[in-house]
Amino acid sequence: MKLLTHNMLTSKAIKQVNTGYPLLIEARDVKVSEVEFNPEFIAKIIPKVDWDCLRRAAEQLGHLDKIPASVPDTYENQQEFLKQAHHVLLEIELINGDLVCPESNRKFPVTDGIPN
Amino acid sequence: MLFLFWCAHEFVPFRLPEFQSLCHLFRIPYRLQSGREDTPFVILELDSESQAQKILSRSICTKHCIHLWGQGNSYEEFHSSLKSFQFKDYSDLLNENKSFKVNVEAFQKKISISERSERIESMEYFPVQGPVDLKNPDVVYSFLEDWGQDGNNLPPAPYNIFFGRNIGEGQRHLITKLSIKKRKFIGNTTMDPQLSLLMANLGQVENGSFVLDPFVGTGSLLIAAAEFKGITFGGDIDFLTLHARSKPSRKGDKKRGDDESMVANFRQYGLTVHYGDVIACDFSKSPWRSGLQFETILTDPPYGIREAMTKVGTEKDYTNQSIPEKYLKTHIPEKVNYSLKDILEDLLNFSAERLSIGGRLVYWIPIIRQEYKEELLPSHPSLSLLHNCEQVLSSNTSRRLIVMSKFSNEKGKAVVYEKITNFKDQFYIPLAGNIGRKERKERVKEHGHLNISQEDMVKFHGRSNQHKMKLEAKMAENT
């Protein structure tokens, strides 16, 4: 499961949960892979990302150093920023672990990269 | 400028919708000059060759595209049209330094080599100066004749004659590239590559589009969306299929390979960067954060024929109880039946909320042909119906590919009629084989389907009396 996807998930569907976001990560196996960089592609993805949630998730996986503090205004043209965003969003993956609902503490296992 | 798109003779009802969707995607005004279902030719009026190239960069229906220089309903009209073409604007193509070749094709009619030469010689006014090169020409021209539909009953002269310069080909090579024969991970419900690519075009997937398939199965639709550079996500309640641990579907396979998985397919085609993630989840209880929108939703929901239709839920009343702590970790939720009507309602409501404005929902709906009426299709106040393409499966059944677009954020509820979603119950009626062949042909000719009446159903449904009685009782209930 990529950090991009984690950024999109909530446990709101469970009864008695109000927001269910962001989900906490308890990681067991994390993989860093190399994914082809396409600046236009990343530039389109960035507007949909909740940046604070992304930072906290990266921190929980022990990769906080690689991510900038916030999104600069003209991010579409800043190659360095785009490369870093690309790395954090698409190249860091949780293979085995749990996602935890912040309100109910219910755990959702992640096995072989697929959350349940 | 007129461009003739010479299309493949498959999935004809999907052709014009594909052209319309691609024109809309590339902001090209759609001006159709002609595009009848009984010919392979679609002629569009475009402002420039680059517009035609944009369409070709995505078109699955198109084999070749020709910039039309002349056309006519008769040889006379054709030659007069071609003679009046502005050849001087294309002197760089026609000069002595450019070698050329003319392809002569007659549809439905066999013509000999000498007849082909005759056609070419009839254009003695054609001011081409370069040498002929049949192997590696600089420029290729096409001389096309349309002799109709029926090779055994040819008209005295062709209906249409066209001449022009070949400017390129469509993307049909992708159908071979993504062939399921060679794909690592497939299942019972894996979609044909041609159809999945058509769906991605009708959904207007582009670079960076967020694409979701809420009933992702083996990911065949996501592969097509990835090929067109979207970022793809999927959901499915079936854990085993997602992890590639279900029974193998390939003939002769006893067990799935260790390296079979959804991601393996993306890797096989070099599309890993476009793989978002898949999530084991129940569509009726979505895990997506509020406010998150997708540009395209592509899906083939379960009809209950090749796969089960379930969602998380229970028929028992648990409101005053909760799961005891010790069972929480391994708790597997109970499942109840999820009817097609509920699925489609949820799908339309979800799409109306989750699509961006202008975003598209593309989905299949199974149809009993004699029950179908367009007004019965599912609707939602914030979604407009753009296209509706039929793929016939049998004389009794078909499925329709529905394309809808979100035009407003206004809240509303989907309307799905029970009548159109009774597919599963009616599908297994083993009737076609019981109606004599001659009568079957007559009925289809007259009605477009088998026109099975209530009496037919009683007469043929099963051999035993028991079956007959059950069916009669059921019908008595309904009247």
Q: What is the pLDDT of residue A80?
A: 83
Q: What is the mean pLDDT of each run of 10 residues along chain B (479 residues)?
A: 93 94 95 88 95 96 95 94 92 90 90 90 90 92 90 88 95 93 84 94 94 91 94 87 74 68 88 89 84 93 69 61 57 68 91 94 90 90 95 88 94 85 60 62 72 63 52 57
Distance from CA of A62 to the nearest CA of B (A): 21
Per-residue pLDDT of chain A (116 residues; tens, 9 = 90+): 888 888 888 887 777 677 777 888 888 888 888 888 888 888 888 888 888 888 888 888 877 766 777 777 777 778 888 888 888 888 888 888 888 888 888 888 888 888 88
Going from the C-alpha of B64 to that of each of A62, B145, B196, the distances in angstroms are 53, 15, 21
Q: Which region holds residue B451: left if phi is over 0, alpha if psi is between -120 and 50, else beta?
A: left
Q: A50 contacts in B (CB within 8 Å)?
A: 289
Closest Cβ opposite residue B292 in set A8, A13, A44? A8
Chain B residue with minimal CA distance to A21? Answer: B289
Q: Identify whether the C-beta of residue B187 lies closer than 8 Å to the C-beta of residue B241.
A: yes
DSSP secondary structure of B354-398? HEEEEEEEEEEEEEEGGG--GGGS-BBTTEEEEEEEEEE-SSSEE
Q: Identify whether the C-beta of residue B167 lies closer than 8 Å to the C-beta of residue B52.
A: yes
Distance from CA of A20 to the nearest CA of B (A): 9
Q: What is the pLDDT of residue B328?
A: 54
Distance from CA of B267 to the nearest CA of A (A): 11
Q: Identify whether the C-beta of residue B127 lies closer than 8 Å to the C-beta of residue B87.
A: yes
CB contact under 8 A, A115 and B285: no
Q: What is the pLDDT of residue B430?
A: 47
Q: Which tokens in the block code for residue B113?
A: 């080599």
User: What residues are paired with A64 via a beta bridge?
Assistant: none
ipTM of the complex: 0.90
Chain B residue with minimal CA distance to A46? Answer: B208
Query: Which three-class secondary structure string do you get for B96-156?
Result: CCCCEEEEEEEECCCCCHHHHHHHHHCCCCCCCCCCECCCCCCEEEEEEEECCCCCCCCCC
**pLDDT (tens digit, 9 = 90+) per residue, B160-190?**
999 999 999 999 999 999 998 888 888 878 8
For tokens 């599963």, the residue is: B424
Closest Cβ opposite residue A115 in set B208, B229, B279? B279
Q: Identify whether the C-beta of residue B211 lies closer than 8 Å to the C-beta of residue B228.
A: no
CB contact under 8 A, A112 and B243: yes
Distance from CA of B79 to the nearest CA of A (A): 48
Closest Cβ opposite residue B243 in set A1, A50, A114? A114
Q: Identify whether the C-beta of residue B440 lies closer than 8 Å to the C-beta of residue B396.
A: no
Q: What is the pLDDT of residue B320?
A: 56
Q: CA B141 to CA B146: how far, in whole Å?
A: 16
Closest Cβ opposite residue A45 in set B208, B263, B278? B208
Q: Identify whether the C-beta of residue B283 lies closer than 8 Å to the C-beta of residue B335.
A: no
User: What residues are paired with A6 via a beta bridge?
Assistant: none
**pLDDT (tens digit, 9 = 90+) per residue, B461-479?**
544 455 556 656 665 555 4
CB contact under 8 A, B289 and A10: yes
Q: A45 contacts in B (CB within 8 Å)?
A: 208, 210, 231
Closest Cβ opposite residue A13 in set B233, B243, B286? B286
Q: What is the pLDDT of residue A58?
A: 84
Q: What is the pLDDT of residue B478?
A: 52
Q: CA B98 to CA B39: how far, in whole Å?
A: 32
What angle in degrees, to the nearest 10, is found between the helix axes of B15-25 and B193-202? 40
Q: Which residues of B have a CB under 8 Å from any CB of A?
A: 207-210, 229, 231, 233, 239, 242-243, 261, 263, 272-273, 276-281, 285-290, 292-293, 328-329
Q: B280 contacts in A (CB within 8 Å)?
A: 114-116
Closest Cβ opposite residue A2 in set B276, B280, B287? B276
CB contact under 8 A, B288 and A43: no
Q: What is the pLDDT of residue B357?
A: 95
* Residue B448 CB neighbour total at 10 angstroms: 13
